[in-house]
Each structure stands twice: as C-alpha cells, then as structure tokens.
Amino acid sequence: MSRVFITGSADGLGKLAAAQLVRAGHEVVLHARSDARGRDALDGVPGATGVLAGDLASIAQTRGLAEQANAGGRFDAVIHNAALGYQVSSVSETEDGLAALFAVNVLAPYLLTALMTRPDRLVYLSSGMHTGGDPSLDDLQWRERRWNGVQAYSDSKLFDLVLAFAVAGRWPEVRSNAVTPGWVATRMGGPGAPDDLALGADTQAWLAVSDEPAAQVTGRYLYHRTERAADPAASDGVLQAGLLAACAQLTGVEL
C-alpha cells in the first residue's frame, strides 16, 4: 500500500485518479482550494484518508499546504494535478501580484516539490499543448505581452515538463515524470473532448504506485502508460536552471 497526495482532487482528473487509487487499496489524501471544497472532495471519493485545503494561487497558502502535508507524515508519491485552463480570459493577478495561471500551474508544484518531505515518486500533469509553449523566461507574468490564454496555458504545461525533468536530473533517488492525459471531457476540456476520460486519469495513478518495470522510470513524458517524445526544450539544462532560479526568486525557496 502506498500513501499518495493529489492536488486538485475535488473534481476532474484528480478525483478520478484518487478514486482509482482508493479502489486499489492505497491511502489517498485529497486536496482542495478551500475547506468547503474539501468537504465536497471527501464526499466525492469515499475511502479517501483525508483532505488538505489551500489555494495554490497564493504563495502563503501553498506554503501552508506543504506544512500541513509534512505534519501528517511523508507521502510515497505526490501527483501534481491542479491547474487552471486556457479559458482564463485575462492575466488575473494573484494576491502576490503574479499571473494566476502561472502561479497555479507552475509555481505551486515547484513550491510544493521544494517544501514537502521528498517522496519516492513525483508525477506532474502536462499536456499535448506543451509543444506550442514558448520556452522564453523573459515575461513569465505577461506584463509585456498581450494576454493569450491558450499561449499562457501551453507555456505553463511546457514548464511543468521542464520542472519534472529538472527534478529527475537533480534527485536521482526520486522517480519524477510528466503525463499528458489527452483531451478529455473535464470542466477544463469541455464536453466535446474526444479522448477517454478514465484513461486520462489512469497513467498518473499507475506511475504513482505501480511496481511494473514500465512504471519504474524517471525523466519521462507519458500518455496512456506509453512514453511520448517531449519538446526538446524540456531537456535543456540551461532552461531547467533558469526556470528553477525564477521560481526560487519569486518564492524565496530554492529546490
């Protein structure tokens, strides 16, 4: 039995992955952005061990979430599932003066990775849209560019891959991988999404707990339990170091 923490598990893919892991007999702790959402999350995943609350758009609350997680004991695996979608219509700054989409999709998983007791496995949710991402670190908060939600989302999913691969290279004892769930019918993906919703949650759950040789990998990008080629930028050591440095500067926490 493994102990797994899943961010953004009140609904969507996070909820489905949590339910799959609970059915398989694993100990799962959920996450929601508020206490009210947390109660809904527990109702939605019977058998989950508990839920932690914290708004990932806030650096202070994300720090608090890491403290809550550590107080309960070390996790065997963490699935960084929470994200804002490309439908965000404006820069929408957070209380820290950051672009909300970047704060939730990139900065929060960075900060949780840096602050939580190191698990055996880390899984980051990326997207096939990462191939349209801009690897430039010059304007992460969209202060110089005209806002484009699709571009900002694609950038964030590329940076999630960069983060996963950077961690894999720096922490060889941790299996750190990224997943694309495909275009699935979640609130983010919309009702007309063509990919299989159940399969969209399967690979991250499998990577978090499986003893199969194919799951004992690190620094990989997978779709439906199969490795896929990632944008070469994700493996660029200079970009990896630059993103980690930018996140450290914003949060005051080094990986």
* Domain residue ranges of the chain, discontinuous segments joined by +: 3-251
Distance CA 248, CA 176 (A): 19
Distance CA 21, CA 76 (A): 13
Catalytic residue among 86, 124, 153, 221: 153
Task: Enter the DSSP assignment of 99.
Answer: B
Distance CA 39, CA 166 (A): 35
Q: Tokens at residue 135, please?
A: 């690897």
- Cβ atoms of 204 and 125 closer than 8 Å: yes
CA angle 227, 229, 231 (to 5 degrees): 140
Residue 86 annotated to the active site: no
Catalytic residue among 86, 110, 124, 157: 157
Residue 110 annotated to the active site: no
Task: Enter the DSSP assignment of 40.
Answer: H
Q: Tokens at residue 95, please?
A: 């209380």
CATH of domain 3-251: 3.40.50.720
pLDDT by 10s per residue, the chain, length 255: 999 999 999 999 999 999 999 999 999 999 999 999 999 999 999 999 999 999 999 999 999 999 999 999 999 999 999 999 988 777 889 999 999 999 999 999 999 999 999 999 999 999 999 999 999 999 999 999 999 999 999 999 999 999 999 999 999 999 999 999 976 546 665 566 556 677 899 999 999 999 999 999 999 999 999 999 999 999 999 999 999 999 999 999 999
Burial code (b: 16+ CB inside 10 Å, e: under 16) for 160-196 equals: bbbbbbbbbeeeeebbbbbbbbbbbbbebbeeeeebe
